């Protein structure tokens, strides 16, 4: 008897619960164009990680992918909360795997899934690549002087920290 469907059901319920939890209190008003683009990039990068790790969990049944996708779901919820507090529309469907609002992200998703489905080691390699991309994207956003609203910077720093932790985790697994 396989318990995989039960694991996935429990995991999905956990994700739904996590999406209901507010992780921060944000300001209000309007964001600059650069900040709006930064927040849109942030939700797309978080969703990329979530979608990839959820698929890898289904393929490889490794807890590290489940726990990392939960962390990415928390990140998506935090970004969505910030977007809501600034009356921004969420530009993507969080329940549609591989669907993003930024060009190129869908192709990246499919590339990561393809390469990470060959072997568990390849999945860890793809995870390292996902986290490296997230770190590069978020670091670039934090260097932009037009991204200055404290709530946005706090959120981006939180996402950066999570990605660095994830990168360390997957790098360690890859080296074992």
**Where in the chain are the domains?**
4-175
Q: What is the pLDDT of residue 16?
A: 47
Alpha carbons 46 and 28: distance in angstroms, whole number: 22
The answer to whether residues 78 and 155 touch, using CB atoms and an 8 Å cutoff, is yes
Q: Which residue has the higher pLDDT, 155 or 2?
A: 155
Is 0.85 topped by the overall pTM? no
CATH architecture of the region 4-175: Up-down Bundle (1.20)
Cite the DSSP H helix spans in 117-176. Answer: 120-143, 150-175
Q: Is the predicted pLDDT of residue 149 greater than 70, yes or no?
A: yes
Q: Is the predicted pLDDT of residue 15 greater than 90, yes or no?
A: no
Over range 50-72, report the average pLDDT: 97
Stretch among 57-61, 93-97, 111-115, 145-149 having the lowest mean pLDDT: 93-97
């Amino acid at each position: 008897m396989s318990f995989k469907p039960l694991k996935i059901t429990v995991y999905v319920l956990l994700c739904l619960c996590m999406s209901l939890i507010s992780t921060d209190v944000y300001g209000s008003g309007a964001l600059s164009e650069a900040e709006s683009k930064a927040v849109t990039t942030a939700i797309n990068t978080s969703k990329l990680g979530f979608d990839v790790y959820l698929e890898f969990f289904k393929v490889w049944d490794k807890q590290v992918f489940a726990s990392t996708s939960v962390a990415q779901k928390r990140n998506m919820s935090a970004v969505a909360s910030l977007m809501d507090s600034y009356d921004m529309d969420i530009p993507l469907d969080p329940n549609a795997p591989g669907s993003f609002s930024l060009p190129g992200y869908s192709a990246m998703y499919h590339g990561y899934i393809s390469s990470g489905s060959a072997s568990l080691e390849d999945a860890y390699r793809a995870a390292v690549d996902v986290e490296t991309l997230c770190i590069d994207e978020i670091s670039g956003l934090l260097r932009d002087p037009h991204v200055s609203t404290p709530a946005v910077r706090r959120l981006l720093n939180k996402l950066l920290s999570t990605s660095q932790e994830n990168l360390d985790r997957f790098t360690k697994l890859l080296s074992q």
